[in-house]
Every structure is written in structure tokens, then in C-alpha cells.
Amino acid sequence: MEPDPPSRAWTPIVDAGSREPRLLDRVRLAIRARHYSLRTEEAYVAWIRRFILFHGKRHPVEMGEAEINAFLMDLAVRGGVSASTQNQGLAAVLFLYRHVLEKPLPVLADVVRAKRPQHLPVVMTRAEVRAVIGRMGGTPRLVAMLLYGSGMRLLECLRLRIKDVEYGENRIVVRDAKGHRDRVVPFPIVLRAALASSLSRVKGIHRRDLATGLGSVFLPDALARKYPRADREWGWQWVFPAEHRSRDPRTQVERRHHLHETVVQRAVKQAVRDVGISRAASCHTFRHSFATHLIQDGYDIRTVQELLGHKDVKTTMIYTHVLNRGGLGVRSPADTLWRAIPTGFPDSRQLRSRPNPLRQEIPPSHQLEAGEKFDEDLGDSDDDY
């Protein structure tokens, strides 16, 4: 079952004309005017509050580059945060100065910007994907299969509406994804029956909510005012609704939200632990595996870029690491000297019995032909990536 929604300390924004909004309320107004998400709003407000408290509650208008750098240095040195976390704090503070205080910072080049390291994504093999999903059940299992079968992000999947799943075209329309762009992803045929059964149960929940006078869902961009009855229509309901109703933190209206992401995250984490995968696999690993396996199957990089919704093909190029097997496709010279020895590395007697490679060529019997012995001895296969 879904956990109760976390309580959020929400400070309502004052009405226009009553009094001048406080600084953090002005931050919220600036964020909402730009149609940023609620998660971005909460994160930015938290970072700005943390920045002010770090400098003894001094007003930001009295501070500048020196105070920003001191804050960022403390995050990196004393806090030990990652580069992405440090840059998120910087983005929030810069938003405060640019869009709320409207105070230009004269020398942005002097602001500390952490360099994010480039890591290869964690990818599960096809057998590992099958094993992990096999250990799951219920709605989390269905969500995990959609993540791997379509390449969606977790929240993109949980925010799907009934109308976005097109059975006739075998496709799913991802609305307002990262970067505020829509895209189309494949709808796995193997999930048609399972998802239809799940939607039948969801429809029963929706009918019961309507019978109690509820049954509405959140609609973006003032659509609820344009179409007063649309929030109760079947097509706008969540594909994966929450088990319990909760209150919207902005409007305080009681609605049934979509399934909380922690429900799926915990189920995936437990399944990964049960299978015995030592790598840090998560819900996002299904997306990495989707892209990697498509490239292994011969799909071109532009197609994968479009399915993933990447703005730049350079972001998608990281998945081509599967083509650079063994370090840019180079076979280790050790594999041409020795066959795989079951007991470990060759000992001194085995080395002395070998011909001196400096005096004569390696006998053909010690070389690999067509890679067959390599695959058999060292277990080289697609499942290793």
C-alpha cells in the first residue's frame, strides 16, 4: 500500500493588496509565473532558506558573489555534497538574484561551479531485468515492465493518463516530459492484457469516488476552469492512482493523486537485493537498460534519442559504451598468450613451458579463432553488459 503523503509546511502566499509578500513568498510567485513544477518550487525555496540561514539571516540584497561562494564552498568541503547537489543550490540562489531581487551579479565567472563527473550508466542484462521483474508483483511489477519496455522515467510513467495509452496504435504519449516536450514511446504488446486488467480495477475505484462526490484529478494549465467537468472524466484519470486520497499542497483540494514514486522504488530495491545484483540498480536503471539493449539490437542512435526524449544526441551517445566492449573493442594481449586457466593465473612452471614471445611467434594453437574459445572460457556474452 502507498504510504501516507508527507506533511508539508506550506506558507500561503498573501493576497495582492493586503501587504507586500515576504521574500520566500516572492520566490514562490516567481517560480509559479514561470510554470515550474512543485518539486522545483520546494527545492528552490529550501535552498534559498538554507543560504539565508548560513549567513546569519542577512538579507540577500546585502550579499553578493563572496557570500555565494562561501556558501558553495561550505557545501563541498564541510557538507561533502555531490557536484549535482552543489549546482542545484547555485541554481536556486542565482534564480533568487535574477528573477526575484532583480539584482545583477557583476562577475558570474567568479562564482564556483562544480564540474559534474561523467559516469557510465548502470545497465542490467536482459536476464537480470527478467529476474528483477520476476521478483516483483502487483502494480509495481506492471510499472517496472513499462519502464523497461518504453524507456520512460519513473514520474513520466506514474503521471500517465488513461487517454495517453493508445491501444490501437500500440504507443504511449508522454505529455509535458522533461524540458516541457511531448514524445511518443512504444507500448509493449506483452502488457496489453495486464494493463487492461489493471485499468478495469482503476475504473471501479473511479466509480466509487464519483459516488461519494469526489473523483476529480489535477488538471494542468487552468484546464479545470476551461472544462469544468473534465477533471472527473475517465480519460483524464491516472493510469496508476494512489491507494488513498490526499490534499493538493497548493490548493488544499482533496483528490486522488497518482501512485507515489517511493512505492515502486522500494519494490525495485527489494527485488534487486533478492536477486543478488551488487550494482546500484534502481528504477532509472530500466531506462538505461532499454536504451542499451536497443543499441545492441541495431537501432540507430537518433531513434534511441527520440524515444528517450533527449534534446542533444550527445546525451544519448553515452549508451554506445556497449559497442566499446573490452576497452574500445580491443582484445587484451593476454588473451592471445594464454587460454583461460580455471585455477587462476598461470604459475611460473606454465610460463617457463611457453615459447619465448621475443624469439618466435605465438603458435597457432595458442591463438583464438573466431572468438569461440573466448566466449566459452571467459563467459563473454551480451549478458555481461
Question: Catalytic site residues?
Answer: 153, 178, 284, 287, 310, 319
- Residue 270 grid cell: 527489494
**What are the residues facing 141 on neighbouring strands?**
none
**Residues ≥6 apart with Cβ < 8 Å to 329:** 323
- Contact at 8 Å (CB) between 299 and 186? no
- Contact at 8 Å (CB) between 141 and 131? no
